[in-house]
Amino acid sequence: MVVKRLGKYELGRTIGEGTFAKVKFARNTEKGENVAVKILEKSTILKHQMVDQIKREISIMKIVRHPNIVRLHEVLASRTKIYIILEFITGGELFDKIVHQGRLPENKSRRYFQQLLDAVDYCHSKGVYHRDLKPENLLLDSQGNLKISDFGLSALPQQGVGLLHTTCGTPNYLAPEVLSHQGYDGSAADVWSCGVILYVLIAGYLPFDEANLPNLYKKINAAEFTCPPWFSPGVKSLIHRILDPNPKTRIQIKGIKTDPWFKKNYVAVKHVEDETVNLDDVRAVFDDIEDKFVSELSESNKMGPLMMNAFEMITLSQGLNLSALFDRRQDYVKRQTRFVSRKPAKEIISTVEAVGESMGLKVHTRNYKLRLEGVSANKAGQFAVALEIYEVAPSLFMADVRKAAGDTLEYHKFYKNFCSKLEHIIWRPKEGAAKSSMSFGLLRRNGQ
């Protein structure tokens, strides 16, 4: 069994992965609360000269304290890694909700949009511009409230600089002025992105979507889009005022907040005025990037797959009904999903390697983790998937599959095709008896 600790935190499964960071589920053993830990390799940060960017992201997340923004608890560092301890959000991505349900009702979309705008307005009041607002960066908590995450592309104002000049973000959500390389107002650019998100929520698809980038940019620059017939006149009018290609005449947040459609059932979010924000721990982590601040302990026997602990199982299964562990609905795929197998872990690994290679992907394997890499369908960038094997119970293994790079919709298509080729190793338990026996086995295994 493998146990990994980070000071007072017990680290568990990987729940997210990107080019420069990995996010793991963890539990604060002192407070008994679940958290998410974003882990960055110092060598990678130094190699790619990202020290300033990462320091900025951490500083921003400590500065912005709002109910609709993922909260940063603390920052820790070891000799080789930086750990960002974040609020653990259980409701998933807003993007998944749209993929699952299609377009959302206008009233529900309005509520999400109101929460989004409140949080963005708060960020702007602190001089922070997100610059990568999209449904994939909007999470939902257990009560269904929206939470903005991922401030990796955020900008803080620099003294004497009025306009931002970096082209960043996801192309479909970018404002025309961001694409023009002329310099842009971060506030107006964020408003545009909010407008695209509102459109996607109610339409179920993007206002600007083309297979190649030149055509996409052309449509964005001309604000060439049409609203579907189910849009009410009120939201149609507001979206046209937001998706104005001229940032000088584009409606501002204060204008949106006085719009009749926006104001319906609007309750401004209440939050306590910020406590004094201390950035000493951020400075300590980066001022001497090689110092050791916390202990990392890893105890293992025979380097088998990680054993999933009870807290993780309960979080995954929303109680002890373990049916949520199994992806029976192949038409509904999240950015992170999973399958279960009764085959030996090494057989799962070799099968995944063979399937990945048959799909034209490069496969990298280390211990019980795999990374499958290829080129995205539109040849615009890298496509990558990460897979990790966990031992759930004796002779029962769970494979966590995550999008590591590339387009989320492309990942959805990949996962369906991928699973169809793995049918012979995927175990699908029968309803009823399997649930209760597995639940009992889990309790007994964890000494309860």
- Which residues form the catalytic set? 132
What pLDDT score was predicted for residue 324?
43
Task: Give the distance, in angstroms, between the CA of residue 61 and the centroid of all CA atoms in the same chain.
Answer: 15
What pLDDT score was predicted for residue 321?
39
Candidates 46, 48, 42; CA nearest to 291 is 42
The amino acid sitting at 67 is: P
Distance CA(168)–CA(224), nearest Å, equals 21
The amino acid sitting at 226 is: T
HEC assignment per residue over the chain: CCEEEECCEEEEEEEEECCCCEEEEEEECCCCEEEEEEEEEHHHHHHCCCHHHHHHHHHHHHHCCCCCECCEEEEEECCCEEEEEEECCCCCEHHHHHHHHCCCCHHHHHHHHHHHHHHHHHHHHCCCECCCCCHHHEEECCCCCEEECCCCCCECCCCCCCCECCCCCCHHHCCHHHHCCCCECHHHHHHHHHHHHHHHHHHCCCCCCCCCHHHHHHHHHCCCCCCCCCCCHHHHHHHHHHCCCCCCCCCCHHHHCCCHHHHCCCCCCCCCCCCCCCCHHHHHHHHCCCCCCCCEEEECCCCCCEECCHHHHHHHHCCCCHHHHCCCCCCCCCCEEEEEECCCHHHHHHHHHHHHHHCCCEEEEECCEEEEEEECCCCCCEEEEEEEEEEEECCEEEEEEEEEECCHHHHHHHHHHHHHCCCCCCCCCCCCHHHHHHHHHHHHHCCC
What pLDDT score was predicted for residue 297?
45
Relative orientation angle of helices 280-287 and 51-63, to the nearest 10 degrees: 170
Candidates 321, 294, 327, 334; CA nearest to 15 is 334
Q: Which pairs count as long-range contacts for 428-436, CB under 8 Å and 24+ apart, including other chains?
A: 428/326, 428/328, 428/340, 429/326, 429/340, 431/323, 435/321, 435/322, 435/323
Dig out the tokens for 442 from the structure. Answer: 């889990």
Using only C-alpha atoms, the chain has a radius of gyration, in whole angstroms, of 23
The domain 94-263 is placed in CATH, from the list 3.10.129.10, 3.20.20.70, 1.10.3720.10, 1.10.510.10, at 1.10.510.10
What pLDDT score was predicted for residue 91?
77
Relative orientation angle of helices 186-203 and 106-125, to the nearest 10 degrees: 170
Distance CA(37)–CA(22), nearest Å, equals 8
Residue 55 assigned ligand-binding role? no
CATH number of 7-88: 3.30.200.20
| Boundaries of every domain in the chain | 7-88, 94-263, 306-445
- Positions of the chain with pLDDT under 70: 1-3, 18-20, 48, 53, 57, 150-170, 181-182, 271-336, 377-381, 393-394, 429-448
pTM: 0.63
Q: Which fold has domain 306-445?
A: TATA-Binding Protein (3.30.310)
Distance CA(114)–CA(413), nearest Å, equals 32
What pLDDT score was predicted for residue 109?
93
User: Contact at 8 Å (CB) between 205 and 267?
Assistant: no
Backbone angles phi, psi at 315, to 5 degrees: -65, -40
Residues 6+ apart with CB under 8 A from 220: 171, 174, 175, 176, 179, 208, 245
Instruction: Point out which residues pair with 93 in neighbouring strands.
Output: 139
Dig out the tokens for 120 from the structure. Answer: 């963005």
